[in-house]
Amino acid sequence: MPWKYAAQSIVAKVKKNIGFKMLKINFMNTTAKQLEHLVSTTFLLILTVTIFAKAPAKTDTIRQVQKIRDFVIYEDPSFYAAFPSVIKNEDGEILVAFRRAPDRKVFLEKRTTHVDPNSYLVFVRSRDHGLSWSKEPELISAHPFGGSQDPCLLKLKDGTLLCTSYTWAFIRGDAQDLKQPVFVHGGNVVFMGGYMMRSSDMGNSWDGPFYPPNIPPEVKYSALGDPLPAYNRGALWEGEDGRIFWVVAAGSDPNNLGKTSNYLLISEDKGLSWQYSCPVAEDTEAAFNETSVYETPKGDLVAFIRSAGLEDQACIARSTDGGNSFGPWEKMGFQGHPLQALRLPDNRVFLVYGYRHKPYGIRARILNAECTDYGTAEEIIIREDGGSTDIGYPWAVMLDESRVLVTYYFNLKNGTRHIAGSVLEID
């Protein structure tokens, strides 16, 4: 009889911990020898499954997420498409904005870069939950003075669409002749700072550009000689009280113009004007730039931060007083950038980010409602077949109550940079 109780105990653990719900054994009609064989076999099964359960793919969180499909949203070998963002309109239509520039191979040039005088902000639409997309992109902005980058969409509660971006000017003279200091890339490409576009008809037409203010820490000037307008790549957030929060980047060190920190801007009039609030993340050594902001149900503001000088550690900072101040920034304990947070129907947070370490791809984590468990949340691998480090910048939106669309730019075998998507089902 002791063998019977031992076998019952072990089989119960197998059923509870491993999920073999169909495992049924008649213990009372089993001999001691049969039970001995059963116990030893079951013990080996538990040991084997326990070992393999250490892999991330076997965690409870990952079992809650099922990838339905990967697909291409926009691809054209003549163009370099990158840095998407996505929103869903009230009628269910999905808009994916991205930066499109010529692939310089069409001019027999050796390489294509992330700055280009013909970088325009464009978008495509889907009216069938992402199954098909408009072929020819529609224009958001072709800036009159330079190439635009990183369109970041925000749909307000009243249906207004905001799109933030920033610009590089390509000058023919000597950048040193401009009002100093200016940030120069590649000898003759001068940073122009940020701007914003607005649409009141679901993207059918756009107004702008509108320029946010220069903020106190920023020491640089634009190529036009003006104080540099605030800028950043990252998701804005409309709070419960109607204020819009935007974490921007700025450089305060004239001797190190490439080093930036993060600061909070707040708008109380739907993005028509902006006021400087406070620092979000500063450090004497590390730099912080592309940052998304999120408001928790409790009312905390959480900044998800891309870092430099910290071995690509994702970082976080939190405000518990409505954006008047932020506590000390912290490392989140994993690599990846930039990050974007999506609220799920049950108030959990789907946090998605690019992964530019082998194997290159797109990853995510599901955090609790207040985003306090980032150190223990399991990592979800969405893609790991990227062709190089030149991928990522994911942005997610809910398709319905259980499905999430993740958009990002990608390449396979270091080929054409294109806008891709993945649909995940989340329990």
Sequence-separated (6 or more) residues with CB below 8 Å from residue 208: 141, 195, 196, 197, 198
Q: How many CB atoms lie within 10 A of CB 322?
A: 16
Q: Which of 346, 236, 363, 377 is nearest to 295 (CA)?
A: 236
Q: How far apart are CA 294 and CA 244, in angstroms?
A: 10
Distance (Å, rounded) from C-alpha 166 to C-alpha 64? 38
Residues of the chain with pLDDT under 70: 1-61
Closest C-alpha among 342, 344, 356, 345 to residue 153: 342
Distance (Å, whole) CA 396 – CA 248: 20
Give the whole-angstrom CA distance, residue 345 versus residue 95: 21
In the block, tokens 């912080």 appear at 288
Q: How far apart are CA 332 and CA 346, in angstroms?
A: 23
Distance CA(71)–CA(126), nearest Å, equals 13
CA distance 403 to 375: 25
For residues 317 and 304, what is the distance between their CA atoms, to the nearest angstrom? 7
pLDDT tens digits for range 318-361? 999 999 999 999 999 999 999 999 999 999 999 999 999 999 99
The C-alpha atoms of residue 160 and residue 110 are separated, in whole angstroms, by 41
In Å, how far are 91, 96, 162, 344 from 406, measured between CA atoms? 19, 10, 20, 13
Distance CA 272, CA 284 (A): 33
Distances (CA, A) of 288 to 114, 232, 260, 399: 19, 11, 6, 31
**Buried b / exposed e along 134-149 (16+ C-beta atoms within 10 A):** eeebeebbebebbbbb
Amino acid of residue 60: D
348 within 8 A of 362, measured Cβ to Cβ: no
Strand partners, 395: 407
pTM of the entire structure? 0.86
What's the pLDDT at 60? 61
Encoding tokens for residue 332? 């989140």
- Note if the bond before 359 is cis, omega within 30 degrees: yes
What pLDDT score does 46 carry? 40
Q: What is the distance in angstroms between the CA of the first residue and the CA of the last residue of the chain?
A: 42
- Residue 5 corresponds to which tokens in the numbers above? 């109780």
pLDDT at 187: 86
Per-residue pLDDT of 378-419, as tens digits, reads 999 999 999 999 999 999 999 999 999 999 999 999 999 999
Predicted pLDDT of residue 63 = 72
Q: Which two tokens stand for residue 318?
A: 């939190």
